[in-house]
Amino acid sequence: MKLIHQTKSVAIPEGVKVRVKSRVVTVTGPRGSLTRSFKHLQLDIRIVGGKVLVEVWWGDRKHLASVRTVTTHIKNLMIGVTKGYQYNMRLVYAHFPIIAKIEDDGSAVEITNFVGQKFIKKIPMLEGVKITRSDKVKDQLELRGNDIEKVSQSAANIFHTARVHNKDIRKFLDGIYVSEKGLIGQFGDAS
């Protein structure tokens, strides 16, 4: 069954500018600018009276679900350019201490001595993501950036690089895991 019309809107916060041109949304705020393309979806995006309006005409069930998805992506862009995102990762080890060395001014990290291995694993951060070592918590890495997808993908790249292979993962719990995620300054160590 097709629904004739579905619409959702996102309020534009103060200090944020949104530009829409042929389903490419550009959001600019105090922390920078982010762009996202929705050209692969058949829907209308426009700005009406301080809100971003997303609407679909004659959509089926999956097409209607994309309206909420697009509005959520636009909200994430707005939060990213105003507050920013932070992921905290903990280095977990039982015997061999994992050595994480921040390189290139926070744009890459080198992992050594993982489960006693001698080779170095270098993980570059995606564009716009900076990694630092926590001053307050031992063995914690902090990833910060404006784009939630790039910050979370960088965290996933670190997690997948430091995984135990060919051993029982119930016993060998060594690795680098995401311990907290949220907005920058949310965890009490505002920086």
Same domain as 61, residue 101:
no
132 and 177: one domain?
A: yes
CATH number for 132: 3.90.930.12
pLDDT in tens, 56-69: 998 888 888 999 99
Q: Does any domain span residue 190?
A: no
| 137/58 same-domain check | no
pLDDT of residue 167: 85
How far is Cα 187 from Cα 118, in angstroms, rounded to an integer?
Answer: 34
Terminal C-alpha separation, the chain: 51
Q: Which of 31, 55, 82 is the last residue of a domain?
A: 82
Q: Do 100 and 173 lie in a common domain?
A: yes
Task: Identify the domain boundary among 48, 82, 116.
Answer: 82
Which structural domain, as residue segments, surrounds residue 67? 3-82
Q: Whats the size of the chain, residue-wise?
A: 191
Residue at 7: amino acid letter? T
Task: Please write the tens of the pLDDT for every residue from 34-48.
Answer: 999 999 999 999 999
Q: What pTM was computed for the model?
A: 0.89
Mean pLDDT of all residues belonging to the chain? 92
Number of domains observed in the structure of the chain: 2
CA–CA separation, 131 and 13 (whole Å): 28
Specify whether 63 is located in the same domain as 120. no
Instruction: Between 176 and 5, name the one with better pLDDT.
Output: 176
Distance CA 20, CA 59 (A): 22
* Spatial contact of 59 and 6, defined as CB atoms under 8 Å apart: yes
List Cα–Cα distances, 18 to 8, 33, 44, 71, 127, in angstroms. 16, 10, 15, 13, 21
pLDDT tens-digit series, residues 97-113: 999 999 989 999 999 99
Q: Enter the tokens of residue 189.
A: 């160590």
24 and 75 both lie in a single domain:
yes
75 in the same domain as 35? yes
Residues 38 and 110 in one domain: no
pLDDT, position 190 = 47
Q: Check whether residue 92 and residue 174 sit in a common domain.
A: yes
Do 95 and 77 fall into the same domain? no
Are 89 and 66 contained in the same domain?
no
Instruction: Give pLDDT, residue 189.
Output: 56
